[in-house]
Amino acid sequence: MTSAADEHRTVAGVFTERVRGVRPEAWNNPAPCDGWVARDVVRHLVEWFPDFLKAGAGVELPKGPSVDDDPVKAWTVHSDGVQALLDDPATPHRTLSNPHIGEVPLDQAVDRFYTADVFMHTWDLARASGQDERLDPGKCAAMLEGMLPLDDVLRGSGQYGPRVQVPETADVQTRLLAFIGRRP
């Protein structure tokens, strides 16, 4: 089993490649998330997670420049801070507490709620910026398998759009994206 630190290193590494690959004029291209542009995909990841960590585990991540000023640097500072947290040997022994999910080991909470989010938003940024949209099929399959039984809960969270219908014969990436409300 891959550690949360290694999983983040891999997933965030691919996202970092996409962030660095955005042409300057493409930061304002529409993204597949309703009302977002490419820059907003980075903004979402950089802005929601620090508050989640601080409220649930008392962890403060380093702050970079604003996404509006420098989306690449904002992402890099943020991602490096998350990686340092996961590389800290004390992190698996810490707990994140949240009224919606209860108490979860900190490394598992990062993996389940944040790294998974980075993985899915990699496609959004790639689509918005005209880059390689391929996601790891094994990770797509594992995520889809874990999410399918939670369909009602996930839809009720407001974090996912309506499920998009695709043929059952569609590849696993297409099925995952359609499940979370994207139109691949």
Q: What would the pLDDT profile of 1-24 be if each residue is shown by its tens digit?
A: 689 999 999 999 999 999 999 999
Give the C-alpha separation, 30 to 40, whole Å: 9
Quick one: 121 and 168 in the same domain?
Answer: no
Q: Say if CB 60 and CB 68 are below 8 A apart.
A: no
Q: Which domain holds residue 148?
A: 135-184
Q: Are residues 115 and 147 in the same domain?
A: no
State yes or no: pLDDT of 155 exceeds 80.
no
Tell me the residue type at 91. T
Nearest to 139 by CA among 167, 117, 119, 168: 119
Paired tokens of 96: 């994140």
Cut 0.85: pTM above it: yes
What pLDDT, on a 0 to 100 scale, did the predictor assign at position 1? 67
Do 116 and 181 fall into the same domain?
no
- Residue where a domain terminates, one of 110, 134, 158: 134
72 with 121, same domain: the answer is yes
Same domain, 53 and 114: yes
Q: Are residues 113 and 76 in the same domain?
A: yes
For residue 161, pLDDT over 90 is answered with no
Q: Could you tell me the CATH number of the domain that includes residue 75?
A: 1.20.120.450
- The total number of structural domains in the chain stands at 2
Model pLDDT for residues 40-85, shown as the tens digit of each residue: 999 999 999 999 999 999 999 999 999 999 999 999 999 999 999 9
Residues 147 and 160 in one domain: yes
| One domain for residues 92 and 140 | no
pLDDT of residue 78: 98
* 89 and 115 co-located in one domain: yes
Specify whether 47 is located in the same domain as 68: yes
